[in-house]
Chains A and B, each alone.
Chain A
Amino acid sequence: MMNIKWSDVVITGDPLILGAQISIILTMVAAVVGITYFKKWKYLWDEWITTVDHKRIGIMYILVAVLMFFRGGIDGLMMKAQTAVPDMKFLDAQHYNEVFTTHGVIMILFMAMPALIGLMNVVVPLQIGARDVAFPQLNAVSFWLTFSGAMLFNLSFVIGGSPDAGWTSYFPLAGKEFTPGVGNNFYAISLQIAGIGTLMTGVNFIVTILKMRTKGMTLLKMPMFTWTILITNVIIVFAFPILTVALALMTFDRLFGTHFFTISGGGNAMLWNNLFWLWGHPEVYIVILPAFGMYSEIIATFSKKRLYGYNSMIISIVGIAILSFVVWVHHFYTMGSGPVVNSVFSITTMLIAVPTGVKIFNWLFTMRKGRIQFTTAMMWSLAFIPTFTIGGVTGVMLAMAAADYQYHNTLFLVAHFHYVLIPGVVYAVFAGFYYWWPKMFGYALNERLGKWHFWLFNIGFNVTFMPMFFLGLKGAVRRSYTFSAESGFAPLFLLSAIGSLILAAGFAVLVYNIYYSTRYADRNISTDPWDARTLEWHTANPVQFYNFAQLPEVKTLDTFWHMKKNKEGLVLKEDELEEIHMPSNSWLPIYMCAVFFVVGFFMVFESFIAAAICSIGIFVGLLIRSFDYDEGFHVKLDVIKKKERAWRGEK
Chain B
Amino acid sequence: MAKNHENEKFPVSHIAGFIVSLLLTFATVGAVKYTDLPVVTIMWIIGALAVIQAILQLFMFMHLTEGEGKVQLINIIYAFFCAIVVAAGTIWVMTSGHVHY
Contacts and interface: CB of A to CB of B under 8 A. Distances in A.
Direct contact of A and B (CB under 8 A): yes
A271 B78 contact: no
B78 A338 contact: no
Given A234-B78, A326-B85, A270 B96 contact: no
Interface in A163-215: 210-211
B68 interface: yes
A329 B85 CA distance: 12
Contacts of B101: 268
B40 interface: no
A27 to B, nearest CB: 43
A242 B86 contact: yes
By CB atoms of chain A within 10 A, which of B68, B79, B99, B101 has the most? B99
Interface in A229-279: 234, 238, 242, 268, 270-271, 274-275, 278
A340 B96 contact: yes
Interface string B66-101: 001001000000110110011001101110111101
A338 B97 contact: yes
Contact of A278 (B71, B78, B90, B99): B90
A278 B71 CA distance: 25
5 contacts: A268-B94, A270-B94, A271-B94, A329-B93, A337-B94
A238 B79 contact: yes
A336 interface: yes
B31 to A, nearest CB: 29
Interface string A4-36: 000000000000000000000000000000000
Identify whether the interface residues of A are mostly helix, strand, loop, or mixed.
Answer: helix
A325 interface: yes
Given A234-B78, A238-B79, A325-B82, A336 B97 contact: yes
Nearest to A335: B99
B85 A338 contact: no
Interface string A302-342: 00000000000000000000100110110000011111110
A341 B90 contact: no
A13 to B, nearest CB: 41
A336 B85 CA distance: 19
A328 B94 CA distance: 13
A275 B99 contact: no
Interchain residue pairs A-B with the least CB separation, the first 7: A338-B97, A336-B98, A336-B99, A338-B96, A337-B97, A238-B82, A341-B96
Contacts of B89: 278, 326, 328
Contacts of B96: 337-338, 340-341
Contacts of B98: 336, 338
Given A210-B68, A337-B99, A341-B97, A325 B85 contact: yes
B88 to A, nearest CB: 11
A242 B89 CA distance: 13
Contacts of B78: 234, 238
Nearest to A242: B86
A13 B83 CA distance: 49
A271 B81 CA distance: 20
Contacts of A268: 94, 99, 101
A548 to B, nearest CB: 24
Nearest to A279: B86
Contacts of A337: 93-94, 96-97, 99
By CB atoms of chain A within 10 A, which of B68, B90, B92, B93 has the most? B93
Interface in B42-77: 68, 71
Nearest to B78: A238
B93 A274 contact: yes
B67 to A, nearest CB: 11
A242 B87 CA distance: 11
By CB atoms of chain B within 10 A, which of A211, A274, A335, A340 has the most? A274
B83 to A, nearest CB: 9
Nearest to B97: A338
Contacts of B86: 242, 278
A340 B92 CA distance: 10
B80 to A, nearest CB: 11
A285 B28 CA distance: 41
B11 to A, nearest CB: 27
Nearest to A341: B96
A339 B99 CA distance: 12
A242 B96 CA distance: 21
A50 B79 CA distance: 34
A268 B101 CA distance: 9
A132 to B, nearest CB: 20
Contacts of B90: 271, 274-275, 278
B90 to A, nearest CB: 5
Nearest to A325: B85
